[in-house]
Every structure is written in structure tokens, then in C-alpha cells.
Structure 1
Amino acid sequence: MEITVQNIVFIILILFTGLSAGLCFTWSNTVTTGISRLDDFGYLSAFQQMNRTILNPTFFVVFFGPVFINLINLYFFKSASNNIIWLLVIATILYVFGVALVTIFGNVPLNEILNNTELTSASEGALKDLRAGFENKWNQLHHIRTLSSSMSFLLLLMTILIKK
């Protein structure tokens, strides 16, 4: 494999997509299942703190970078075989719609509701209602992100095999 701008961009895309898929898988497989065992205050408080912590420059670059890098990658591979183009187009669609847009229009609004709630002054009933309106919706959306990012990553890996 030659060291070209095209190959470097492709490697970064695979890396960031893989990291995002791993983050989503780990979150689905351990984090949400672990904190689901907590009482309402503990669950909401833990989720609130994790959401606040994850919002950092490294996360934004790795998690949202593939949206833009996929488009650059499609440009670089515009003359590739149909098989490669289709794998890259589907990987891009999965990531943009199944990860980025689901995050922006699904998970983030739920996170904002949680972030704007003063948990320490909320009643038990209010905490129970907040969790009931948050947990299942957030997890369902997150499962879409997990599946989409994993499938996008798999398609990018398949592209390497065809590219050889």
C-alpha cells in the first residue's frame, strides 16, 4: 500500500469509524446495562455526568469526523470500481444517517433535557418520570447508532479486501 493522501484519508476514516463503532458497542454492551441497575437518581445522575464528560474536542473529531472524511473519501475513490463505490456510498449513508443524524436529532435532545434538570431538587416521582421518558428512547436510538457504525466500519474493511 502506497503512502498517498488518498490512503491516509482512508486509514483515518477506518480508524475513526472503528473507534466510534467500538464506543457505541461498549456503551450499549456495558455502560447502559450497568447503570440501568441503579435507582432513578443514580441512573440519571450517572448519565448526566457521562454526557457532560463526553463532550470534548477529541470525541467530536473522532465521532463526527467520519461524516466529512467519508465525503472526502468518496471524492478520492470516484474512479474506483463499482463494488468499491457502492461499499463506500453505503458506509457513508449508514454513518451520516444512522450515527450523526440520529445523534443530533435523537440522542442530543434527550441529553439536553437531562442536562437541564436539577436532579438534586427533583422529587422521586419527577425522577421516575424523567427516567421513563429518557431511558428506553435513548437506548433505542443508541442501538441504531451501534448497528449503523458497526456496519459502516465493516463495509470500510470490506473495501480494503476488494481494493487489493
Structure 2
Amino acid sequence: MSLRTVQTISLIAATMTTGLIAGVFGLYAHTIMRGLGNTDDRTFVGAFQAIDRAIINPLFMLTFFGALLLSGVAAASHLRGDARRAAPWILVAGVLYFATVVITMTINVPLNDAIKAAGDPDRIVDLAAVRADFHETRWIAWNVVRTVATTVAFGCLAWSLVLHGQVRTAAGESRTPPADRVIVKGHPSP
């Protein structure tokens, strides 16, 4: 497999997986947590536990951790040759995504685990205390940070795809005009 193929595949896959995760976090921020916030304590605890159990599945885990790995492969493969113009954008995306993983593992997951450890909602004596101990506002605030970080990372990767597509082929032909040149009526600017 050529370096160009590795660059292309890893960059497309990193962009797609990062976009999917940004969508998941955005869905939580704008829909799921808002909906759960309007429920009683029993419904909140039970529904959050059920959602947390459902999201821990092979496809989500592959996408969540795959985005980080694929961003790393894309960044490393773009450090050489004509594709270097895309590397800084991919690196920024990777750093933002890594920060998201750290936030998830150090803030959101421990809060998820705490509500899970409370046990069956039908057997919990003080559901209001369990919900309060969950620190709903903190979870939501850090999820918004994750949403913004992954969305910006997605934007950086999308821009790097544009730059990647502007790299000259081995034969020296440009597939797209360089970003600093404008074509007017079929004639490139000087």
C-alpha cells in the first residue's frame, strides 16, 4: 500500500469517526440530557443507567477510540512529502480529540460509574440523593466541552482533507488548483 493510500484512507476514516463522535456528544448536549433533565428522579436514574449500558458496545468503542488512533495514523503519514500542508490541521484535531478522551475518562465516565453503582432504581431509597450525587450540571458542562472539541476537530480534519486533495500527483499534475491561486474564466491568476 502506498503512502498516499495510507494518508487518504486514514484521513477519511479519522474525519468520519470524529464526526460521528461529535454527533453523539452533540445529541447528548442538545437532546438526551435536556429530555432527561425534565424527568423525575426515578426516570432520570433508570434511563441514564440504561443509556450508559447501551452505549458501551463494540461499535461505539471502536468508533470512539478508533478516531484517536486514525487521527494519529493520519498525522504521522502526513508529516512527509507534499502532504505536509495538512499535517498541522490533523495534529490540532488529534490534540483536541485526545483532550476529549481525557475528559471522558476522567470526568464523564466516573460520573456514569457512580450512577451505575447506585444499583436498581426500584431498590434505591433516596433517588434524589443519587441524582444529586451524579452532578448533572457538571456532566452536562463537560459534555458541551467534548461536543465543541470534537466538532472543531472534525472541522480541522475536513479542512485537512481539502489540503490533502490539493497535493500534486507523482506525475506532477495538480488535481486541484493551489489554494493561493484563483481561476477566472479558465485562466489561473499569476
TM-score (norm 1): 0.91
Q: Please name the residue that 1:130 is paired with.
A: 130
Counterparts of 1:42 and 1:100, CA distance in 2: 28
Q: Please name the residue that 2:155 is paired with.
A: 154
Q: What secondary structure is seen at the aligned counterpart in 2 of 1:38?
A: coil
Give the letter for the 2:161 counterpart.
I
Gaps of 5+ in 2: 167-190
Q: Please name the residue that 2:26 is paired with.
A: 25
- The within-5 A match list for 1:1-164 is 4-79=5-80, 83-97=85-99, 99-118=100-119, 119-123=121-125, 126-134=126-134, 135-163=136-164, 164=166
Counterparts of 1:83 and 1:6, CA distance in 2: 13
Counterparts of 1:81 and 1:9, CA distance in 2: 13
Aligned-residue identity in percent: 28
Rg comparison, structure with higher value:
2
**1:15-42 deviations in Å (ceiling 9; x for gaps):** 1001111111111111111111100110
Counterparts of 1:162 and 1:75, CA distance in 2: 16
Q: CA deviation at 1:133?
A: 2.8
Give the letter for the 1:46 counterpart.
A
Gaps of 5+ in 1: none
Q: What secondary structure is seen at the aligned counterpart in 1 of 2:39?
A: coil
Give the letter for the 1:39 counterpart.
D
Q: CA deviation at 1:84?
A: 2.1
The structure with the largest helix share of the pair is 1
Counterparts of 2:12 and 2:91, CA distance in 1: 16
Counterparts of 2:20 and 2:48, CA distance in 1: 21
Give the letter for the 2:128 counterpart.
K
Q: What secondary structure is seen at the aligned counterpart in 1 of 2:79?
A: coil
Counterparts of 1:14 and 1:81, CA distance in 2: 16
Q: CA deviation at 1:130?
A: 2.0
Q: What secondary structure is seen at the aligned counterpart in 2 of 1:17?
A: helix
Displaced runs of 4+ in structure 1, greater than 6 A? Answer: none
Task: Count matched residues.
Answer: 160
Structure ranking higher on relative contact order (CA contacts 8 Å, 6+ apart): 1
Q: CA RMSD in A?
A: 1.7
Q: CA deviation at 1:127?
A: 1.7
Give the letter for the 1:122 counterpart.
I
Q: What secondary structure is seen at the aligned counterpart in 2 of 1:28?
A: helix
